[in-house]
Structure formats: structure tokens, C-alpha cells
Amino acid sequence: MLSQTPPKLFDRQDWLAGYRSLKQEYSYWVSDITGAIPPELQGTLFRNGPGLLDVNGEKYGHPFDGDGMICRISFQDSKAHFANSFVKTPEYLAEQKAGKILYRGVFGTQKAGGVLGNLFDMRRKNIANTNVTYHGGKLFAMWEADRPYALDPYTLQTLGIESFQDKLTPGSVFSAHPRLDPATNDLWGFGVEPSFRSKISIYKLSTTGDLQIVHQVKVPGFCFLHDFAWTPDYCIFIQNPIQFNPFPFIFGLQTAGACLELKPNAPSQFLLLDRQGNLQTIDTEPCFVFHHGNAYRSGDELILDAVTYADYPKLEANSDFREVDFSKVIPGHLTRFCLNLSTKAVRKTTLLDRSCEFPRLNPNHTGRPHRYLYLAMIDPATPPDTNAPLQAIVKVDTHTAQHQIHNFAPRGFVSEPVFVPRPNGELEDDGWVLLLTFNAARNASDVVILNGTDLTTQAILHLPHHVPYGLHGNFVPHVFVNK
């Protein structure tokens, strides 16, 4: 059921102002700072997202089709350095040279020329715009439908597609949501090759950058798996009951994303792949999941926290995201699943009943019991079961269901929070929450440092320009500044 129209709590023009291309690449020390950067905060925050939302004025139909742009914020001795650079893929360079859109986007972008201009054009543009992480001496810009791009972490120069010593051949996929094992520092990832019988590959990337293909399994049906949860025993997926009709895409009528829809009355399914390669499935009531917070083993149960939607947030064909009606956007709620591995019973609890996304936690608790999750959330003044832009950061205590909120409304708009543990800190929430916000009052972006315990402001780094709304990022304890 679609939610009722929420009250007008934010200005639509404020929100739209964050959806502008940032075409300039910068490198500078941040001089305008409110508060003080904690001296123990040493390292680098990398962020990825669509930096270009148009080509020479020709607009993309959906932000997720925009070319990836890496932002790097380096913290050293209570100072901060900002730099950004586009991932210089061959497709990006070709479109910049041509001055127009040459490739169809997965989510909402058609080329000019109508049906005839898009007919039978199924070329895939690696936009490398979803996540970024540093591992094994390399910086990777990731997109879920292809291999990652490697960049120099100091200069942000694009080095090229990463094949991991030819272990990932053309057509292989390395997801945009890897998980770091806090005990070994191995990076676990996956890739999905969707088809009528989809193939899921599980990867392990060692601390030296050696890639191992751990398992490959095939599951019935078209798999749309954006994220997964990891524990020392399992890789955990939620198979959304999605069906894909390729014909409108093939014949140039719609983008691929608009050809997806939820199967009516079909259950969602947990896919539990253990370390021996055995696949166990558990059915649950229909829902849709983009992002998982964390999972861990508790006796005979697996505990999984994720943001769930009652239905697939379907993309309307040939629509413009700038004209979205938030009253018709399905809200996402933070949900806890308790899966009994013996009986296959599923218990489901709502931990946060306001629309939220991008769950993160102290990375030292990945795959282990956790208490706190940090998420981006709508303005808390917005009524429950409605949707709106993300304007607040919320800390959820999963033991008590209590939460703390830092609200940036009415003129601030937030991104995914990234938790950074304090060096030698003993408590789970002892650290900082880092995020990029768009401040419509300044028409520019801020890098915000919040205290992980109570979400009070530690420092705000006022950038002299805006950064378009991004997607995901990670912090590493290495300081990278241009040599």
C-alpha cells in the first residue's frame, strides 16, 4: 500500500540542488573548519558516487547511471586534505570526447533517438560508481555488474580494470559490497551472473591482494543481489523474488532496471552458503532488501539485520528521478531476522519504523555480535510509514530498540555514515561517525565528524563546493595525500 502524502518539511529545490554534476577535480587542504578534528583520527575516508549527472547538459535519467567519482578526505595531525577524481573508464572518456550520452544506463537513462536509437543496443557501461575500498595495496572503485577499477590512492589516477592476475575474466563480476574479516583482514566479496539459473561466485582477497575463488553455486531464477552479510561460517544473501522481462530492454523501449518487478505472492528466500560450499535455503515472507547491516551466529540461530521494503521500489520506465513523488516511494525499515538453522523458522522484528538506509557498524564487529548500527534516516518530524530525502543520522541500540538522532533538517541532506573506531577504544561505540552532507544554506557540502557515543558534533569541514549525493565509502588507517 502506498503511503499518504507527508507534510512538506523540506524544500524540494534545496534537495535538487545536491543533484548537480561536479565537473572540476580538486586537491587542497581544508581551511574552513568548525570545531576541532580529533588528533587520534588518523587515516583516509574514501567515498564513491555519481559525480556526473549529465553530459554536456544532456541529463541522465537516474543518478545511479552517473559516472563514478572518488572523493578522498585524509586526516592527519588534526588537519584534513580533500581531493576528488573521476574514474576514467573508456566509456567515460568516449562520452566526454563526444559531448553526449553514448551508452544506455541500467537504471533510467536511454540514449537520444527514441526506440530506434536504443534498439538492440545492449552494451554495458562500467560506471564504477557504487563503492570504493583500499585493500592489498590497491584502491578499488566498484560497481556490482562488472570488475572493479584500480586507482592510485595518492594521485587518484585511474590505473585500469582489475582482473586480479587474470582470475576474473571479461564478463566476471565483483560486487560493490565486500566485507572485511576483522580477525584475518581478508576481504570477502561476491559476484552474480544473473540468468534463468544464476551463478553466485564467492571471492576472498588476501591482505597481499591475492584473489581466491572460494565457491561457485547456481540457484534457480533471476538473482538480484546487491549486498550480502558475512560471518566466519556463512555468506548470507536474501534472494528477492524478482522477475526480469528482457524484451522491453532488447527492443529499446525501457532500461534494464525498469524491466524488473517483484513476483506477486512469491516468498523471499535466504541463501546460506557455508564454508564448505553447501547451500541452505530458508523461505520468508515477501520483501525486498538492498543493504544488510550485519549478521552473526547465536547458538542454532543466525541473526541478521537489514533494511527491508514491503515491495520492490520499481523504476518507472522513461521517468526522471528529479521529479520523484516521495509519497509514492516505499519506505525502508531496519529489520532483524532470526533464522533457526535446524527448524528453518524465521522470526522478524522491526528495529526502526522510520524510513532509513545505509546501515553501518563498528567494522571490528563484522560477523560478530553487535549492539549498535548507524543509518541515514528521514527527518524524524516526518510521520512514520512515509518517505522523504535522508536528512538525519540515527544510532540504533539493537538490544533495547532505543535510538539517538542527529538531525540536519530542514536544509541539510545526508549520505551513508561510516563508523571509525577510536584506536585502542574498548567500547563498541567508542569512535567517530564520518559523513558527507549537502548544506543547502551554503549551496556546498560539509564533511561532518560526529561522536560515536552520543552523535554530538566534533567538527565540520566546510568544503568550498558541493559534492553530488554519493553512495558508499570506507575508512582506512592509512594517510594518503598527493606526493
pLDDT at residue number 328: 87
Query: CB–CB of 192/198 below 8 Å?
Result: yes
Q: What is the pLDDT of residues 43-61, one digit of tens each?
A: 999 999 999 999 999 999 8
CA distances, 51 to each of 47, 318, 386 (Å):
11, 21, 28
pLDDT at residue number 6: 46
Q: What is the DSSP letter of 248?
A: H
Q: What is the pLDDT of residues 166-178, one digit of tens each?
A: 999 998 999 899 9
Q: Which of 203, 216, 211 is nearest to 175 (CA)?
A: 203
The DSSP result for 105-134, as a single string, is: -SSS---SSHHHHHTT---------SEEEE
CA distances, 433 to each of 179, 289, 324, 476 (Å):
19, 24, 29, 14
Which CATH number fits the domain that encloses residue 404? 2.130.10.10
Question: In percent, how much of the chain has pLDDT > 70?
Answer: 97
Residue 61 lies in a domain: yes
Residue 2 lies in a domain: no
Residue 7 lies in a domain: no
Q: What is the DSSP letter of 159?
A: E
CA distances, 181 to each of 133, 405, 470 (Å):
14, 29, 25
In this predicted model, which residue has the larger pLDDT, 263 or 402?
Answer: 402
Whether the per-residue pLDDT at 470 is higher than 50: the answer is yes
Which helix or strand (DSSP H or E) is residue 18 part of? none
Q: What is the pLDDT of residues 325-342, one digit of tens each?
A: 898 899 999 999 999 999
Omega cis (within 30) before 410:
yes
Q: What is the pLDDT of residues 102-155, one digit of tens each?
A: 999 988 899 999 999 999 998 889 999 999 999 999 999 999 999 999 999 999
Domain count, the chain: 1
Residue 100's SS3 state is coil
pLDDT at residue number 3: 42
Query: CB–CB of 406/432 below 8 Å?
Result: no
Q: Is 250 exposed, middle or buried (0-12, 13-18, 19+ CB in 10 A)?
A: middle
Residue 77 lies in a domain: yes
pLDDT at residue number 194: 86
Residue 468 lies in a domain: yes
Q: What is the DSSP letter of 221?
A: B
Residue 447 lies in a domain: yes
Report the predicted TM-score, pTM, of the whole model to 2 decimal places. Answer: 0.96
Residue 4 lies in a domain: no
Which helix or strand (DSSP H or E) is residue 263 part of? none
Domain that holds residue 195: 14-476
Whether the per-residue pLDDT at 252 is higher than 50: the answer is yes
Residue 483 lies in a domain: no
Neighbour-count burial for 444-457, b at 16+ CB within 10 Å, e otherwise: bbbbbbbbbbebee
Instruction: Tell me the pairing of strands 197-205 and 211-220.
Output: antiparallel
Q: Which three cell numbers stand for residue 345?
A: 523458522
pLDDT at residue number 222: 87
Whether the per-residue pLDDT at 256 is higher than 60: the answer is yes
pLDDT at residue number 483: 61
Beta strands in 361-423 (DSSP E): 372-378, 390-397, 403-407, 412-414, 418-421
Q: What is the pLDDT of residues 173-214, one digit of tens each?
A: 998 999 999 999 999 999 999 888 899 999 999 999 999 999
